[in-house]
Amino acid sequence: MDRLSLALILIILVLASFNFAVPVFANTPEIRNVAVTKIGTRYHLDITIYHTVENSTHYVITIRVLINGYDNVTDVTLVPQTLSLDYTFTVPYDLGVLQGGSAYVDVYARCTQDSWSDPWSGVVPELSLPIMLIGLILATSLAVFALRRAKLISSK
């Protein structure tokens, strides 16, 4: 073998030893918002997810919705999403009819490379501020009434 052949073999071996993978810099998915709407008797979630630039091997693949802990787990498989300029997208989810009128919900997103996001947790439907205020006033009034009644009975 001449020097040119040896040089070509050496160059090929050196090039073959390099890893040509391009690093992808992405974050673990983040649940930015979960909007709850009621249509008829069914509740719907619009889950807004933040994730940096996706490619064919790095994207949000699964949304997991847990209702009342672990009694009802639903995984929604996704295809790569077209992202807006701020790297967010929204996934609609039909929560269905809630037994008992409300449920505790956890929502997670999983990336093909960075695993599961931190959960979004909340009660569906959320109680409005006026309803919570009325409940607090009612509970306080009942406590004051019971305390005064106990004092009247003990003073006799």
Question: Could you tell me the pLDDT band of residue 21, with boundaries at 50, 70 and 90?
Answer: low
| Cα 118 to Cα 109: distance, rounded to the nearest angstrom | 8
CB-CB contact of 64 with 74 (8 Å):
yes
pLDDT per residue over 44-98, tens digit each? 889 998 887 666 677 888 888 888 876 566 777 777 666 666 788 888 888 888 7
User: Are β-strands 42-50 and 88-96 bridged in parallel, bridged antiparallel, or unpaired?
Assistant: antiparallel
| Cα 103 to Cα 74: distance, rounded to the nearest angstrom | 14
- Domain spans of the chain? 30-125, 128-156
Mean pLDDT of all residues in the chain?
77
pTM, 2 dp: 0.59
Residue with the larger pLDDT of the pair 99 and 18:
99
Residue with the larger pLDDT of the pair 29 and 23:
29
**Residue 85, pLDDT score:** 66
Question: Could you tell me the pLDDT band of residue 40, with boundaries at 50, 70 and 90?
Answer: confident
Q: What count of other Cβ atoms lies within 10 Å of the Cβ of residue 47?
A: 21
What average pLDDT does the segment 13-41 reach? 72
| Domain 30-125 indexed as CATH 2.60.40.10 | yes
Question: Could you tell me the pLDDT band of residue 127, with boundaries at 50, 70 and 90?
Answer: low
pLDDT per residue over 67-79, tens digit each? 887 656 677 777 7
